[in-house]
């Protein structure tokens, strides 16, 4: 292939997205994903109660996960979005799959982080499959994940606490690098100061009832995107309106 100016082509952004949507339990991550175009859920946890959506049976092994993805790649259908719910429930299945392949009792068995390195390789295989689904079938991929609080040591500032994906650090890094959109779903909080007596003020956090999808990069939670998207309401319509702008 000639690498000259005649070989230059202009890249275009695909309409199908690959997104990681994280947040605390019961904030509405699955409900938001259910409003994406023609979704089908791949459930790893029994958390679809109340949602009127198409879904595969509850996956109990990585074989189930790979079979579901292969079905969407190879069989004819009109689904436009795959929702994996959730990554942190998938990870133990992936670890068990890797351990079975290597005849390890646990992912810690080989020591020196070798188990997690093997798991990272399997995560790459999974993400390659999702990329094939997106590329060949033009399907949106939404991966839902819960979060945990982690203390971050920074070389340029004092240490601080932050929300991070509830995954091993290697898996988290791979998933965040893979995604075009990383959104953090949260309740919008208002701060109210009240009189506590004796000249003292008491600060209370109050839920406003609103929910926000944080899309702009922030050190306190997993977020960021490649499209210049801004924080918005936690709804598919609010996200889609920015993608179509």
Query: pLDDT over 70 for what percent of the chain?
Result: 88
Whole-number Å distance between alpha carbons of 111 and 90: 22
Alpha helices for the chain (secondary structure H): 29-34, 62-74, 87-102, 114-137, 169-178, 236-243
Average pLDDT over residues 111-137: 97
CB 23 within 8 A of CB 184: yes
CB 140 within 8 A of CB 243: no
Average pLDDT over residues 151-178: 93
Summarised one tens digit per residue, pLDDT across range 186-220 is: 998 766 666 666 666 666 656 667 899 999 999 99
Most confident of 7-21, 74-88, 184-198: 74-88
- Distances from the Cα of 150 to the Cα of 103, 109, 112, 128, 219, angstroms: 32, 25, 22, 28, 12
Whole-number Å distance between alpha carbons of 170 and 186: 24
Alpha helices for 61-208 (secondary structure H): 62-74, 87-102, 114-137, 169-178
- Say which range, 21-35, 85-99, 168-182, 188-202, has the weakest mean pLDDT: 188-202
Position 11 pLDDT exceeds 70: no
Position 12 pLDDT exceeds 60: no
Pairing of strands 140-145, 18-23: parallel
What pLDDT is attached to residue 184?
A: 98
10 token code pair: 């202009």
Pairing of strands 18-23, 181-197: parallel
CB 233 within 8 A of CB 206: no
Whole-number Å distance between alpha carbons of 103 and 99: 6
Chain centre to alpha carbon of residue 44: 13
Whole-number Å distance between alpha carbons of 149 and 137: 36
User: Does domain 16-182 sit in CATH 3.40.50.300?
Assistant: yes
110 token code pair: 């080989």
Pairing of strands 224-225, 200-214: unpaired
């Amino acid at each position: 292939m000639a690498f000259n100016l005649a070989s230059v082509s202009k890249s275009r952004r695909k309409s199908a997205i690959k997104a990681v949507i994280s947040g605390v339990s019961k904030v509405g991550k699955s409900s938001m994903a259910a409003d994406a175009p023609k979704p089908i859920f791949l459930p790893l946890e029994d958390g679809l109660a109340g949602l009127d959506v198409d879904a595969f049976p509850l996956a109990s092994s990585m074989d189930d996960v790979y079979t579901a993805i292969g079905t969407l790649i190879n069989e004819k259908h009109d689904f436009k979005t795959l929702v994996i719910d959730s990554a942190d429930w998938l990870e133990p299945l992936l670890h068990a799959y890797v351990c079975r392949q290597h005849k390890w009792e646990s992912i810690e068995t080989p020591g020196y982080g070798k188990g997690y390195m093997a798991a990272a390789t399997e995560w790459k295989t999974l993400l390659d499959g999702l990329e094939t689904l997106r590329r060949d079938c033009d399907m949106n991929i939404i991966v839902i994940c819960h979060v945990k609080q982690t203390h971050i040591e920074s070389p340029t500032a004092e240490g601080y606490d932050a929300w991070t994906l509830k995954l091993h650090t290697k898996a988290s890094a791979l998933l965040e690098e893979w995604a075009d959109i990383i959104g953090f779903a949260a309740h919008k909080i208002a701060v109210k100061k009240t009189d506590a007596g004796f000249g003292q003020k008491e600060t209370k956090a109050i839920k406003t009832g609103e929910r926000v999808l944080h899309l702009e990069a922030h050190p306190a939670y997993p977020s960021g995107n490649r499209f210049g998207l801004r924080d918005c309401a936690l709804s598919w319509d609010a996200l889609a309106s920015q993608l179509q702008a």
